[in-house]
Structure 1
Amino acid sequence: MITIIVPFYNEEKILCENSIQFHALSRHAELIFVDGGSIDKSAECAKRYGCGCYSKKGRPRQMNKGASIAKGDILLFMHADTIISPKAVSSIENCIKDGRCVGGCLRQRIDAPGKIYRFIEGFGNARAAITKVFYGDQGMFVRRDIFLRIGGFPEVPIMEDVIFSKQLKRVGKTAVLPDRIFTSPRRWDKKGVVKTSLLYSLINALFWLRFPLEKIKLLYDDLR
């Protein structure tokens, strides 16, 4: 069984907008929504679709909390503004059970028209396939026993997904499945496609240059 873990903080609007998709997923997987202390009605929305729990705010901390109570032998981590189809759940199960991989991610699709979005997602998907380094909005999945062996997500201010996926590929084979995970374009809409893309590039460059994560987080917060 797959457990889908969704950390959130003040995501009432997007959780309600994706109600049909979450209800559909709940028939194929265990859903756990982890609230980081929301002050809106996010928690009420989330409990309609699956199990709700609370954690101190911080995406890696929230994801680890969800994993600690998960019943599935496969864990799938999704952002609140992403959604997948039930078919993708089956593809993940087949990949793990066939022994083809110990974890991986899905192909990202930004849920908006435009050539610039196709370029952004195409570049990101190609990068993931080549480097086997994944980001959280690509729907990272992993065998539960492997997740526990690694020690879960490092509870750092930012880039926990990159650090975890680098550890994951050292343990066993990982894969980028052809099934899509649909991501809201809201972050690009908020600041503009060019500015947002440049800021993400800067964040990644600073990370690889070993810039302090606390300072990198300040740049990321500007995109929220």
Structure 2
Amino acid sequence: MSQVSIVIPTLNEAASLERTLRLLTLLNPPAKEVIVVDGGSEDETLAIAKQNFESFNQVLNIQVFSCQQHGRSIQMNHGASDATGDILCFLHADTWVPDDLIAVIEQTLANPTVACGGFISLMTGSQTTRWGISIHNYLKTYYAPLLFKPHLFFKGLRLLFGDQVIFCRRTDFWDCGGFDEALPIMEDGDLCLKLVKKGRIYQVNRIVQSSDRRVAKWGNWKATVIYLYIGFLWGIGVSTNYLKQFYQDIR
């Protein structure tokens, strides 16, 4: 039986969540459980999560929680604390995964030198694929740690981000203190910096798809500039509380 617990933090994700959960019903093998942690949605997100709990409960073990505080780090730590699987997989509500997700995760972490993994994220819309942004995000996994943390790069550091569906062993996650709940953004990169002490960070040569809603709102050039600006400033140690102003929520 699979030992992978999938944790999904949500906040006003009514437009994406149903599709995400529906695709999770196709997983073969299935996840041990899917934990949805809502951070105070004001749309139909919770209703959709509970409706799918009733509809898919025969094929998907869904648990739905409401968190007193919102913030992705807080919500994901909450979900991780309720998880019973040996492996944690953190999935954004607007990211869609292949049906062999669980097998790929388990095969990746069967290698004891790998502490954490993630996928290649292909950013897509209803009628478009953001090839330029997607390729840059792929390359950023490698060049960012090489540029800012070269001593850790050669020890296996790669910087994975939430759209890449990050997964790791539950024991390693808590040994590293989980996500830093004080960080409003870049909690994923911070986790990689902590987990590399346990082993290599590995980007699996497989695709997941993520919503392009942010790029659709900003446009390709503006999005690229903002991503580079935030990444560079974070790399040199600028506070994420300052950086958050450039990365507003878009639904």
1:89-168 matches, cutoff 5 A: 89-112=102-125, 117-129=130-142, 131=145, 132-155=158-181, 156-168=183-195
* Cα displacement (A) at 1:187: 0.9
Q: TM-score, normalised by structure 2?
A: 0.82
**2:226 alignment counterpart:** 199
Deviations 1:75-115 (A, max 9, x none): 11111110101212211111112435121111111124667
* 8 Å contact from structure 1 (residues 34, 52) kept in 2: yes
**2:77 alignment counterpart:** 64
Amino acid across the alignment from 1:200: Y
- Is the deviation greater in 174-183 or in 105-114? 105-114
Deviations 1:40-84 (A, max 9, x none): 210121231511112210000000000000011011111111010
Amino acid across the alignment from 1:60: S
**2:49 alignment counterpart:** 46
Residues 1:93 and 1:222: Cα distance change in structure 2 (over 3 Å): closer
**1:33 alignment counterpart:** 36
* Cα displacement (A) at 1:128: 1.6
Q: TM-score, normalised by structure 1?
A: 0.91
Deviations 1:124-168 (A, max 9, x none): 223324640111111110001100100100011221111111111
Amino acid across the alignment from 1:79: H
- Is the deviation greater in 76-85 or in 104-113? 104-113
In the alignment of these two chains, the number of paired residues is 223
* Cα displacement (A) at 1:17: 3.7
User: Structure 1: 5+ residue runs without aligned partners?
Assistant: none
User: Structure 2: 5+ residue runs without aligned partners?
Assistant: 54-61, 146-157
Tell me the secondary structure at the aligned position of residue 15 of structure 2: helix
Tell me the secondary structure at the aligned position of residue 26 of structure 2: helix
Residues 1:171 and 1:27: Cα distance change in structure 2 (over 3 Å): closer
* 8 Å contact from structure 2 (residues 28, 100) kept in 1: no
Tell me the secondary structure at the aligned position of residue 159 of structure 2: coil
Which of the two has greater helix per residue?
1
Measured on the aligned residues, the alpha-carbon RMSD in Å equals 2.0
Tell me the secondary structure at the aligned position of residue 102 of structure 1: strand
* Cα displacement (A) at 1:18: 3.5
Q: Distance in 2 between matches of 1:147 and 1:192?
A: 35
* 8 Å contact from structure 1 (residues 14, 81) kept in 2: yes
**2:206 alignment counterpart:** 179
Amino acid across the alignment from 1:80: A
**2:235 alignment counterpart:** 208
Residues 1:17 and 1:96: Cα distance change in structure 2 (over 3 Å): closer
- Is the deviation greater in 65-74 or in 102-111? 102-111
Tell me the secondary structure at the aligned position of residue 158 of structure 1: coil
Residues 1:61 and 1:222: Cα distance change in structure 2 (over 3 Å): closer
Tell me the secondary structure at the aligned position of residue 125 of structure 1: helix
* Cα displacement (A) at 1:21: 0.9
